[in-house]
């Protein structure tokens, strides 16, 4: 069994792209998935235009059938996935009392339901093979309630942390680990797009280390949890937040 085949969701840009690139550089074959097939295909081609070690997949994390199709596609190309990184997510800034039921449902469907479906589909395949690594990208907002993001985002990411524990307990006897990483504010384009410059500057002053997080380091943490040597780490959450939240 090849233990260095990974699928990363939400890999067209931002943190997902960085994670995919880091895994590929470490010798993994990587399936990059996203709803934006054109952009994610370009990223995959930049890693390996031949398609031997990188492939692009269209994947809507709200659809269970899309995960099944992704699983099947990677099995057909490379024999199966051994590492799943649930990175796809949506962050929205909204005042608590202004969030509509539709907006709440949209964010939860992507961030929480998407993680559930991915863990369910891939977790079953991993358990059948007797090996697997699942890394869920959660958020500091899910631990503290958030400040710069909306309540729907914070609630969905809190749910991701709970799902991580539930699936970790269920899948551990089958040789499958499930862990989470909870980043604080990262120095990524999406953060600068969502948060006004003056508010972001004020937020940085509240971070003990006085800087936004390094997305490349988050990708390094994914590599750590994806390792075949990480068998005793499951149900854990790595807090990487500049000191904003300390246990």
pLDDT in tens, 188-210: 988 888 788 998 899 899 999 99
Task: Name the pTM for this structure.
Answer: 0.96
**Is the model's pLDDT at 241 over the cut of 90?**
yes
Per-residue pLDDT, 113? 98
DSSP 229-244: T-TT--S-EEEESTTS
Q: Distance between CA atoms of 112 and 153, rounded to whole angstroms? A: 9
| 30 touches 53 (CB < 8 A) | yes
Q: Distance between CA atoms of 110 and 86, rounded to whole angstroms? A: 11
Domain ranges of the chain: 5-185+217-238
Cα-trace Rg, the chain: 17
Question: What would the mean pLDDT of 24-33 be, rounded to a whole number?
Answer: 98
Question: What would the mean pLDDT of 224-247 be, rounded to a whole number?
Answer: 97
Q: Angle, nearest 10°, between helix axes 64-78 and 114-129?
A: 40
Under CATH, what is the fold of the domain 5-185+217-238? Rossmann fold (3.40.50)
Token pair 């090996």 is found at 131
Q: How far apart are the first and last CA of the chain?
A: 37
> Of 120, 98, 109, which Cα lies nearest the Cα of 159?
109
Q: Which residues are catalytic?
A: 153
The pair of structure tokens assigned to 30 is: 């990587």
Per-residue pLDDT, 199? 85
CA 189, 37, 74, 87 torsion-angle sign: positive
């Amino acid at each position: 069994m090849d233990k260095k085949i990974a699928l990363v969701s939400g890999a067209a840009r931002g943190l997902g792209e960085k994670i995919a690139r880091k895994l590929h550089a470490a010798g993994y074959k990587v399936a990059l998935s996203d709803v934006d097939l054109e952009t994610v295909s370009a990223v995959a081609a930049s890693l390996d235009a031949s398609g031997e070690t990188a492939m692009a997949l269209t994947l809507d994390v709200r659809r269970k059938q899309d995960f099944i199709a992704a699983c099947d596609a990677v099995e057909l190309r490379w024999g199966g996935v051994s590492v799943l990184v649930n990175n796809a997510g949506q962050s929205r800034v909204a005042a608590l009392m202004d969030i509509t039921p539709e907006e709440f449902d949209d964010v939860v469907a992507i961030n929480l339901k998407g993680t559930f479906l991915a863990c369910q589909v891939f977790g079953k395949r991993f358990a059948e093979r007797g090996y697997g690594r699942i890394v869920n990208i959660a958020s500091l907002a899910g631990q503290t309630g958030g400040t710069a993001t909306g309540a729907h985002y914070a609630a969905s990411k809190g749910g991701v942390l709970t799902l991580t524990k539930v699936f970790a307990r269920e899948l551990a006897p089958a040789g499958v680990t499930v862990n989470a990483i909870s980043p604080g504010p990262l120095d990524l384009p999406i953060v600068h797009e969502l948060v006004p410059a003056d508010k972001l500057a004020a937020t940085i002053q509240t971070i003990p280390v006085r800087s936004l997080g390094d997305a490349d380091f988050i990708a390094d943490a994914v590599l750590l949890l994806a390792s075949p040597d990480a068998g005793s780490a499951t149900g854990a959450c790595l807090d990487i937040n500049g000191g904003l939240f300390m246990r």
